[in-house]
């Protein structure tokens, strides 16, 4: 479980296809001693399991494996050496819930429609996949590339979010441009509410 509050930027140090899996070596500013084999770390909002690790100066290198389903539903398959990724360690009991509850299960890819300066921040417009449009609502929550954000408006074209300067500075959202694909995870409460409504409508 995550909150959508990015704790660090990682860098892809190696990407290798093996037996249908994509093995990514990630360089991160985390202490290797604090990363357990089998630990879950969200990469641009996609929860992946650590299978290898090694300490290095200023942090650690660790390896995660991306399965075919995740390759089909996320941006992980497009990652290459040198690319930056938003990282978030999984929640521990007692951690502050600073964003919203995020599972690290990407619902699908959104397409960036526009990125524009808006006052001190930036306004991002995204076209979501049709499968999650019914889960979006103004003032609701959504995770974009693993970042917890508030939906400002929803219309027939897509939805918009406003990104504050701090978030712009410490995440990969500042690298986005029109046409880029981003991992989207709809709000968990919206998903369960929609499922409940669907179930009731069938009774």
Residue range 31-59, pLDDT digits in tens: 999 999 999 999 999 999 999 999 999 99
Question: Could you tell me if 82 and 117 lie in one domain?
Answer: no
Residue range 97-108, pLDDT digits in tens: 777 888 899 999
Question: Could you tell me if 122 and 165 lie in one domain?
Answer: yes
Token digits for 107? 């619902």
34-68 burial: b if 16+ Cβ within 10 Å, else e: ebeeebbbbbbbbbbebeebeeeeebbbbbbbbee
Q: Does residue 43 lie within any of the structural domains?
A: yes
Domain finish residue from 89, 116, 136: 89
Token digits for 5? 């509050």
Residue range 74-94, pLDDT digits in tens: 999 999 999 999 999 997 766
What CATH number is associated with residue 172?
2.40.30.20
What is the average per-residue pLDDT within 120-137?
Answer: 95
Enzyme catalytic residues: 2, 40, 47, 49, 67, 105, 150
Which pTM was predicted?
0.92
Question: Could you tell me if 112 and 187 lie in one domain?
Answer: yes
**Domain region containing 22:** 8-89
Tally the domains of the chain.
2
Q: How confident is the model at residue 164 (pLDDT cuts 50, 70, 90)?
A: very high
């Amino acid at each position: 479980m995550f909150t959508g509050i990015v704790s660090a930027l990682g860098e892809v140090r190696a990407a290798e296809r093996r037996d249908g899996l994509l093995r990514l070596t990630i360089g991160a500013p985390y202490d290797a001693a604090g990363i357990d084999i089998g630990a879950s770390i969200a990469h641009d909002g996609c929860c992946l399991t650590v299978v290898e690790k090694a300490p290095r100066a200023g942090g650690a290198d660790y390896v995660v494996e991306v399965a075919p389903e995740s390759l089909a539903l996320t941006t992980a398959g497009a990652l290459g050496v040198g690319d930056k990724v938003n990282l978030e360690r999984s929640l521990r009991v007692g951690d502050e819930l600073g964003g919203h509850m995020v599972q690290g299960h990407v619902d699908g890819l959104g397409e960036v429609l526009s990125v524009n300066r808006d006052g001190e921040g930036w306004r991002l417009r995204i076209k979501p996949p049709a499968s999650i449009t019914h889960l979006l609502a103004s003032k609701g929550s959504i995770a974009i590339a693993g970042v917890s954000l508030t939906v400002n408006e929803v219309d027939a074209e897509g939805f918009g979010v406003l990104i504050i300067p701090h978030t712009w500075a410490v995440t990969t959202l500042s690298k986005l441009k029109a046409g880029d694909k981003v991992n989207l995870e709809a709000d968990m409460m919206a998903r369960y509410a929609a499922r409940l409504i669907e179930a009731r409508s069938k009774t």
